[in-house]
Amino acid sequence: MKLRDRVAVITGAAQGIGHAIATEFAREGAMVAAIDRKPEVQNLCDDLTGNNLKARPYILDITDHGSYRKCVDDVVHHEGRIDILVNDAAICFYGDIFEDSLEEWRKVQTVNLDALYWGAKLVAPIMAQQHWGRIINIGSTQAIATEGRLGAYTAAKGAIHSYTKSLAVELAPHGILANAIAPGCIHTPMSIIGGVDETQTELFQEWYVKRRKIPLARPGEASEVARVAVFLASDDCSYVTGHTLVVDGGLTITF
C-alpha cells in the first residue's frame, strides 16, 4: 500500500497506460480521480469500487479548461487534497510533413501539451500548500529516437520531457517532485493502427523480437509502465526529480 490515503488525478484513464496506472494506484491505496472524455472511464471506476478500491470517474475533455478546473475543484471538495497528478492523455496522427496538416498539428499540441500544462497549473498551488506533491508526465521514446511520420506527437513529447525539468526546478522549493516516463513499444490500443496490431506484424516480430532491436524481445505491457508510475508517486521516490525514466525494454540503447 505505497499510496495509502493519497489522492491521485489521472488523465486518459479509460484505456491503455492511463487505465493501468489508475488500477495500480487504487490497488496501492490511493483514491483515484479518473479523467477521460470516453465514457468507458465509468466502467473502470465501477470495477475498482466493486473491488473495494477508491475511484471516482470524471467524463470530460481536458482541453475544455473550465471543465478541467471544475473537476479539480470537485476532487478537492470531496477529498480535501490532491497529492498526485498523472498527465497521460494523448492523441497522435500519422503522416509525414507532406501529408499532415496544421489543424492536426495544433490538435495534438492542444491535447498532449497545453492540457498537461493546464493540469499542472491547477494542482501546483494545492500541492504547494500541502508541501508535498508528485507530478508525473507521460512522454515517449519517440522524443528520443523517432521513426518519423509522427511529427506533431514527437514534438509534443519532446516538449513534455523538457517542461518536466522546468517544473521540477520551479516546484522543488514547495516539496513537489516532477518526473516523466518515456514508454517504448507498449501493447495498448494506441498500438492498433488501421485495425492492425503493430506489435504482431511480421516486421515487428522479425526486427524487434527475433533480431532483438528491443533487447528484451517483446513489447511492454501497460502494467509495467504503471509500476514505474507507482514508484514515482510514492515516498520511495524522494530524491528523483526532473528525470525522464525510460521504460522501453532497451529499445533506445540499441542501433
φ, ψ dihedrals at 183, nearest 5°:
-75, 150
Annotation marks residue 208 as catalytic: no
Q: Write down the pLDDT at residue 41.
A: 98
Architecture field, domain 7-193+221-253: 3-Layer(aba) Sandwich (3.40)
Q: Which residues pair with 84 in a beta bridge?
A: 8, 134
Amino acid letter, 107: K
Phi, psi of 40 (to 5 degrees): -60, -15
The amino acid sitting at 38 is K
Determine the pLDDT at residue 192: 83
Q: Which candidate in 153, 163, 208, 239 is catalytic?
A: 153
Q: What's the pLDDT score for residue 240? A: 98
pLDDT below 70 — which residues of the chain? none
Closest CA to 189 of 68, 59, 14: 14
Contacts of 255 (CB under 8 A, 6+ apart): none
Tell me which residue has cell 475533455: 61
Assigned C-alpha cell, 2: 505505497
Instruction: Take residue 220 and report the three cell numbers written for it.
Output: 511492454
Residue 195's pLDDT is: 86
Strand partners, 197: 192
What pLDDT does residue 99 have? Answer: 96
C-alpha cell recorded at residue 100:
499532415
Q: Name the residue ranges covered by the structural domains of the chain.
A: 7-193+221-253
Q: Are the beta carbons of 94 and 147 closer than 8 angstroms? A: no
Q: What is the pLDDT of residue 123?
A: 98
Helices (H) and strands (E) in the chain, counts: 8, 11
